[in-house]
Chain A
Amino acid sequence: MSRFYVYAILGEPPATPLGSGISAEPLTLLTSSDLVVAVGVMDEPPVATREAVLGHDAVVRRLAEGSTAILPTRFGMVHEASVLVDWLATAADGLRDALRLVTGREQMTLHVFEVEGAVEGAAVEAPDDSDAGTATGPGARYLTQRRRQRREATLPELAPLRSRLDGLIAAERIERRTTPPFRASVYHLVERGRSAAYRDAVESHRDLVRGVRLRVSGPWAPYAFAPEAVA
């Protein structure tokens, strides 16, 4: 039985030619209800070489050009058709929700790095932890914990810049890093064609951010907004 390497879930068949995949295999579409999966016949998962990973992204980009809504799949997935069809039936609702979110949009990324010699946690808007050491009751501990969670969810170092980007951002995801000097990656979903405006806004207001160094990349297909597990 044939096995398929999976590149992306689409909201509709692409308007452009499918072309070939990372092993020069012709791409084809599997459909289930209103969902479309772009695949290529491949018996074994590819080795994650630079060329293969670049190839995966090139295919995803080409598919994105022909489709307004795309959810890229993670590199290296090879499945039998029956497994794919069963999974699509189970995951359909979650996939549709995710496709709605990314329709007409693309991803920009801000990687945040510590600056050598900067004070840990330096921020223009310092977090309020004044009661952290004296929170003894359950209510106080709860509030302290909530404040810490909120701070981690919003990355206060970026607050001055973030407010300048509000009009460009449809959705945001923050991922903390545990390998210094890499501190976090912030993923923003922007309308297609607005990536240059996003870059301009970041460059214009970069000086507002203190204590960290920023690296902008994109546009990308919305990898970070594709749900990892929807089944």
Chain B
Amino acid sequence: MSPRHAPTEALLDEADASLLDLVDNVLTKGVIIDGEVMLGLAGVDLVYLRLTAILCAADRIKKYLG
């Protein structure tokens, strides 16, 4: 049986703050069965980068809104 790779691209355009934890927990943590790694680390790092940028931008906006 050959491992399959699930794409992460679909997540990138739907990023929000709560998604950071979903990506962190569900896509990069948890038991890996039979040594199989399903998702490329580079793709996950890209998701992190986008999410953290959005989180920080949201914080700056909130600061001005009071």
Q: Which residues of A contact B (CB under 8 A)?
A: 6, 9, 44-50, 53-54, 56-57, 60, 71-80, 83-84, 86-87, 95, 98, 107, 109, 111, 113, 116, 177-179, 181-182, 185, 213, 215, 217, 220-221, 223-224, 226-231
Contacts and interface: CB of A to CB of B under 8 A. Distances in A.
B25 A223 contact: yes
Contacts of A107: 25
A76 B1 contact: no
A220 B31 contact: no
Given A72-B26, A113-B55, A229-B35, 20 more contacts: A44-B4, A50-B11, A50-B14, A50-B19, A53-B22, A53-B26, A57-B26, A72-B25, A75-B27, A76-B27, A78-B4, A83-B33, A87-B33, A98-B31, A181-B52, A181-B56, A182-B48, A223-B30, A228-B30, A231-B33
B26 A56 contact: yes
B52 A182 contact: yes
A217 B20 CA distance: 10
A87 B26 CA distance: 21
Contacts of A73: 30-33
A188 B30 CA distance: 15
Interface residues on B, range: 35 or more
Nearest to A46: B6
A228 B39 CA distance: 13
Interface in B15-30: 19-30
Among B4, B25, B27: residue with most chain A CB under 10 A: B25
Contacts of A213: 59
A54 B52 contact: no
Contacts, number: 134
A182 B52 CA distance: 6
B10 interface: yes
B66 interface: no
8 contacts: A48-B6, A48-B10, A57-B26, A72-B29, A73-B31, A77-B38, A79-B36, A226-B30
Among A50, A54, A80, A107: residue with most chain B CB under 10 A: A50
Contact of B31 (A48, A49, A185, A228): A228
